[in-house]
Amino acid sequence: MRPENHSGVSQFLLRGLPIRPEQQGTFFVLFLGMYLTTVLGNLLLILLTRLDARLHTPMYFFLSHLAFSDISFSSVTVPKMLTDMQTQDHAIPYAGCVTQMYFFMVFAALDNFLLTSMAYDRYVAICHPLHYITFMREELCILLVAGSWILSCASALSHTLLLAQLSFCGDKTIFHFFCDYGALLKLSCSDTSLNELVIFTVGVAVITLPLICILISYGRIGATILRVPSTKGICKALSTCGSHLSVVSLYYGTIIWLYFLPSSNSKLSNYYMFNAPL
């Protein structure tokens, strides 16, 4: 659906990355390489998950959807950024900006819910191994992924509809390399108190609650591991959730750093945009 423009603004200007002109070529090649690695690596993971019958398990089912989400998450912003670096045309239409912001929030929220589903899967696998097949049925896995998509789209749509009601006056420069919601609110000359309230409310539902569920799952996993008598059993249990735990640490660690250290927003968001999907 094409967002309706109530603001009178036809386009915004993306400030882009603070890179010197003589360094543009080097960083363009670097970022392009990282982006292609992200896309090809995750595509390979999706392909292997589909072709190898041994990977037709709930964990790899969630992982393939997470890989698709990460490809989309990067593709929403990075190609535009790379184009801007080459053409020096930093303009983005109003509709394009709102659309980019919407899909950015969709896939960011989707990562939260998928990581939570994966944490639940690991909890069942380690704490209730004898009932794993019974608990993690195909129907439940599909329901968890479908619910993740619905909640992600709904949360992003709530922000987008409220943004479409705002007016923008004066400077139209966004001090970022993509249409960040917070940066857009700073440009608005309308009252943004409702937007900020919804950011807090939806943030609790999309970020805080999934994080609490993940922490509870790993708390139960930790308690179960401590009751395992053998070192071999402990190592086996840790190996099943080590990679997921590292992704969770990177993802939520970045969010916390961005929240508590606003001055580092630009550098850290650039780092996460490329490295988290890897």
Structure tokens at 267: 């550098």
Domain annotation covers residue 244: yes
- Listed residue (193, 201, 244) closest to 58, CA to CA: 244
Q: How far apart are CA 225 and CA 127, in angstroms?
A: 9
Domain annotation covers residue 3: no
pLDDT at 1: 47
Q: How far apart are CA 207 and CA 39, in angstroms?
A: 25
| Residues 6 or more apart in contact with residue 81 via CB below 8 angstroms | 14, 16, 17, 31, 177, 178
Domain annotation covers residue 130: yes
Domain annotation covers residue 151: yes
Query: Domain count of the chain?
Result: 1
- Listed residue (246, 269, 243) closest to 45, CA to CA: 243
Reduce the DSSP state of residue 199 to 3 states and report it.
helix
Query: For 261, which DSSP code?
Result: -
- Enter the pTM of the model: 0.86
Count Cβ neighbours within 10 Å for each residue of 64-80 and write b for 16 or more, e otherwise. Answer: bbbbbbbbbbbbbbbeb
Domain annotation covers residue 6: no
Bridge partner residues of 91 (DSSP):
13
Bridge partner residues of 179 (DSSP):
none
Domain annotation covers residue 200: yes
Instruction: State the amino acid at position 137 in one-letter form.
Output: R
pLDDT at 268: 47
* Boundaries of domain holding 168: 11-275
The sign of the CA dihedral 27, 29, 34, 35 is: positive
| Residues 6 or more apart in contact with residue 266 via CB below 8 angstroms | 17, 18, 175, 176
Domain annotation covers residue 206: yes
CA dihedral 56, 58, 62, 63 (to 10 degrees): -60
Task: Provide the CATH number for the domain around residue 245.
Answer: 1.20.1070.10
DSSP assignment string, 107-132: HHHHHHHHHHHHHHHHHHHHH-GGGH
Domain annotation covers residue 2: no
pLDDT values of the chain reduced to their tens digit, one per residue, 278 residues: 455 545 567 889 898 787 887 788 888 999 999 999 999 999 999 999 999 988 899 999 999 999 999 999 999 999 999 998 888 778 899 999 999 999 999 999 999 999 999 999 999 988 888 889 999 999 999 999 999 999 999 999 999 999 999 988 877 888 888 998 988 998 988 889 999 999 989 988 898 899 999 999 999 988 888 887 666 666 766 677 777 788 888 888 777 776 555 554 444 455 455 555 55
